Structure 1
Amino acid sequence: MTSVWSRRGFLATTGGSALTLGLAGPATAAHGAEPSPPHSAPEAAAAADDAFAALRTKWRALILGESFSPTAEPFRTKLATLGTQAASFRSAMAPASGSLWPDLDYRDPAPDTDQESYGYSQRMNDSFNRLSTMAQAYCQPGTGLTGDAALKDAVIAGLDHLCTDVYSASKPRFGNWWNFQIGSPQTLMDIAVLLHEHLSPQQIATYCAAVDAYVPDSAVSNYTGTSTGANRVDLCRVLVLRGVVGDSAAKIVVGRDALSPVFPYVTTGDGFYADGSFIQHTNIPYIGGYGAVLNDGLGRLFALLRGSAWQVDDPASRLFLDTIEKAIAPFIYNGLMMDNVSSRGISRGLTVSDTFQLAQDDHTRAHGVMASIVILGQGAGPAEEARWRAMVKGWLQRDHYGPALKNPKLSLVNTARLQALFDDDTVKASPEPSVHRVFHNMDRATHRRRDWAASLSMASRRIAHYEFGNGEHARGYHTGSGWLSWWGDDHGLEQYSDAYWPTVDPYRLPGITVSRKPLPDGVGGNWGNPKPATGWVGGTTDGEYGTAGQHLQGVTSTMEAKKSWFFLDDCVVCLGAGITSADGAGVETTVDNRNLGAAGTAALSINGIRQPATQGWTATRKHTSWAHIDGHAGYVFPGGTALTALREERTGAWKDINTGSSPQPFTRRYLTLWQDHGTDPQDASYAYILMPGAGQLRTAARALDHDWLQILANDAGHQGVRVPSRGFTGINFWSPGTVGTVTVSAPVSVQIRERRDGTATIAVADPSRTVQSLTLTWKRRVASVLSTAPSVTATGTGSALTLTFGDLSGSYGATQKVTVKLG
Structure 2
Amino acid sequence: MKTYCLPLIILLIAICSGKQAYAESTANNDEFETLMQKIRKDFAANPSIDKILKEYNDKDGSFADVDYASIQRTNWPPLVHIDRIYDFVFAYTNPQNKYYKDNALYEKIVKGLEFWHQRNPWCHNWWYNQIAEPQKLGVLLIQMRTGARQTPADLEKRILDRIRTDGGDPAKWTGANRTDIALHWIYRSCLSRNEADLKKALENVYNPIVYTTEEGFQYDNSYFQHGRQLYIGGYGDEILKGITQVAMYTKGTQYALPKDKLDIVSKFMRETYYRTIRGQYMLFDAMGRSVSRPGVPNKSATALFASRMIELDPQHKDEYKAIVERLQGKKPAEYQVTPSHTHYFKGDYTLHVRPAYTFDVRMTSTRTSRLEYGNGENLKTYFVSDGCTNIVRRGNEYDGIFPVWNWTRIPGVTAPQLDSIPFAISDWQTPGTSTFAGGVSDSLYGATAYVYTDNYKGINTGAHKAWFFFDDEVVCLGSGISSTSESEVQTTVNQCLASTDEPLYAYDEQVSSLSLGQERSAGIDWAVHDNIGYLFPEGGKIFISHKNQSGNWYAINNSVNRKENIQKKVFTIGFEHGKHPQNATYAYIVVPGKGTASEMQAYQKADNVRILSNTKQIQAVCNRSLNLYQAIFYQPGELADGNFKVKTDKPCALMVKKISGGKPVLHVADPGQTGQSIRIDITVSGKKYSIEHHPSTDPIYAGATTAYNFQFTEN
- Taking structure 2 as the reference length, the TM-score comes to 0.89
Instruction: Find the counterpart in structure 2 of residue 60 from structure 1.
Output: 40
Q: 1:147 offset after TM fit, Å?
A: 4.7
Instruction: Find the counterpart in structure 2 of residue 370 from structure 1.
Output: 303
Residue 774 (structure 1) aligned to one of 678, 681, 684: 678
The 2-side partners of 1:137 and 1:812 are apart by 56
Q: 1:643 offset after TM fit, Å?
A: 1.4
Q: 1:294 offset after TM fit, Å?
A: 0.4
Amino acid at match of 2:584: A
Instruction: Find the counterpart in structure 2 of residue 252 from structure 1.
Output: 198
The 2-side partners of 1:214 and 1:567 are apart by 51
1:658 aligns with 2:557: yes
The 2-side partners of 1:155 and 1:716 are apart by 68
Q: 1:259 offset after TM fit, Å?
A: 3.0
Q: 1:330·1:437 contact (CA, 8 Å) conserved in 2?
A: no
Instruction: Find the counterpart in structure 1 of residue 67 from structure 2.
Output: 105
Q: 1:128·1:188 contact (CA, 8 Å) conserved in 2?
A: yes
1:483 aligns with 2:415: no
Q: Give unpaired runs (5+ residues) of structure 1.
A: 1-35, 66-78, 109-115, 168-172, 350-359, 402-428, 782-797
Q: 2:525·2:539 contact (CA, 8 Å) conserved in 1?
A: yes
| Compared CA separation, residues 318 and 147, structure 1 to 2 (3 A) | farther
Residue 195 (structure 1) aligned to one of 104, 119, 144: 144
Instruction: Find the counterpart in structure 1 of residue 534 from structure 2.
Output: 635
Q: 1:141 offset after TM fit, Å?
A: 5.9
Q: 2:484·2:580 contact (CA, 8 Å) conserved in 1?
A: yes
Q: 2:343·2:349 contact (CA, 8 Å) conserved in 1?
A: yes
Residue 207 (structure 2) aligned to one of 235, 258, 261: 261
The 1-side partners of 2:392 and 2:517 are apart by 26
- Say how many residue pairs are matched: 684
Instruction: Find the counterpart in structure 2 of residue 157 from structure 1.
Output: 111
The 1-side partners of 2:673 and 2:559 are apart by 40
Residue 50 (structure 2) aligned to one of 84, 87, 104: 87
Q: 1:280 offset after TM fit, Å?
A: 0.4
Of all paired residues, the percent bearing the same amino acid is: 23
Amino acid at match of 2:186: V
Instruction: Find the counterpart in structure 1 of residue 653 from structure 2.
Output: 749
> RMSD in angstroms over aligned alpha carbons?
2.7
Q: 1:144 offset after TM fit, Å?
A: 4.6
Instruction: Find the counterpart in structure 1 of residue 569 from structure 2.
Output: 669
Deviations 1:12-53 (A, max 9, x none): xxxxxxxxxxxxxxxxxxxxxxxx986299877765543322
Q: 2:340·2:445 contact (CA, 8 Å) conserved in 1?
A: yes
Instruction: Find the counterpart in structure 2 of residue 176 from structure 1.
Output: 125
| Compared CA separation, residues 614 and 683, structure 1 to 2 (3 A) | same
1:385 aligns with 2:317: yes
Q: 1:230·1:291 contact (CA, 8 Å) conserved in 2?
A: yes
Instruction: Find the counterpart in structure 2 of residue 681 from structure 1.
Output: 581
Q: 1:441·1:812 contact (CA, 8 Å) conserved in 2?
A: no
| Compared CA separation, residues 821 and 132, structure 1 to 2 (3 A) | farther
Deviations 1:401-441 (A, max 9, x none): 9xxxxxxxxxxxxxxxxxxxxxxxxxxx9611111111121
| Compared CA separation, residues 255 and 709, structure 1 to 2 (3 A) | same
The answer to which of 146-155 and 508-517 deviates more is: 146-155
The 1-side partners of 2:292 and 2:59 are apart by 33
The answer to which of 606-615 and 452-461 deviates more is: 606-615
Amino acid at match of 2:35: L
| Compared CA separation, residues 47 and 799, structure 1 to 2 (3 A) | closer
Deviations 1:224-243 (A, max 9, x none): xxx10000111111211110
Instruction: Find the counterpart in structure 2 of residue 326 from structure 1.
Output: 271
The 2-side partners of 1:143 and 1:682 are apart by 71
Q: 1:125·1:184 contact (CA, 8 Å) conserved in 2?
A: yes
1:215 aligns with 2:167: yes
Matches within 5 A, 1:238-317: 238-267=184-213, 269-313=214-258, 315-317=260-262
The 1-side partners of 2:496 and 2:629 are apart by 30
Matches within 5 A, 1:270-669: 270-313=215-258, 315-349=260-294, 360-363=295-298, 366-380=299-313, 382-397=314-329, 431-489=336-394, 493-497=395-399, 499-520=400-421, 522-527=423-428, 529-554=429-454, 556=457, 557-596=459-498, 600=500, 602-607=502-507, 609-611=510-512, 613-622=514-523, 624-629=524-529, 631-661=530-560, 662-669=562-569
The 2-side partners of 1:188 and 1:737 are apart by 64
Amino acid at match of 1:187: K
Amino acid at match of 1:377: I
Instruction: Find the counterpart in structure 2 of residue 407 from structure 1.
Output: none
Amino acid at match of 2:309: L
Deviations 1:423-476 (A, max 9, x none): xxxxxx961111111112111111111111111111211223321011100111
Residue 50 (structure 1) aligned to one of 5, 15, 30: 30
State which structure, 1 or 2, has the greater radius of gyration over its C-alpha atoms. 2
1:230 aligns with 2:180: no
Residue 817 (structure 1) aligned to one of 703, 707, 711: 707
Q: 2:309·2:320 contact (CA, 8 Å) conserved in 1?
A: no
The 2-side partners of 1:340 and 1:761 are apart by 32
Query: What SS class does the counterpart of residue 557 from structure 2 fall into?
Result: coil
Q: 1:547 offset after TM fit, Å?
A: 0.6
Deviations 1:367-422 (A, max 9, x none): 23221122133222x32223322343344356669xxxxxxxxxxxxxxxxxxxxx
Deviations 1:94-115 (A, max 9, x none): 3788x9333321215xxxxxxx
Amino acid at match of 2:201: G
Q: 1:361·1:496 contact (CA, 8 Å) conserved in 2?
A: no
The 2-side partners of 1:770 and 1:96 are apart by 69
Matches within 5 A, 1:35-46: 39=19
Q: 1:545·1:567 contact (CA, 8 Å) conserved in 2?
A: yes
Deviations 1:71-99 (A, max 9, x none): xxxxxxxx5xx31xx222222123788x9
Q: 1:729·1:753 contact (CA, 8 Å) conserved in 2?
A: yes
The 1-side partners of 2:331 and 2:318 are apart by 20
| Compared CA separation, residues 816 and 189, structure 1 to 2 (3 A) | same
Deviations 1:567-614 (A, max 9, x none): 1111110000011111111100112223127xx452332235454644
The 2-side partners of 1:517 and 1:368 are apart by 37
Instruction: Find the counterpart in structure 1 of residue 592 from structure 2.
Output: 692
Q: 1:487 offset after TM fit, Å?
A: 1.3
Residue 724 (structure 1) aligned to one of 617, 624, 640: 624
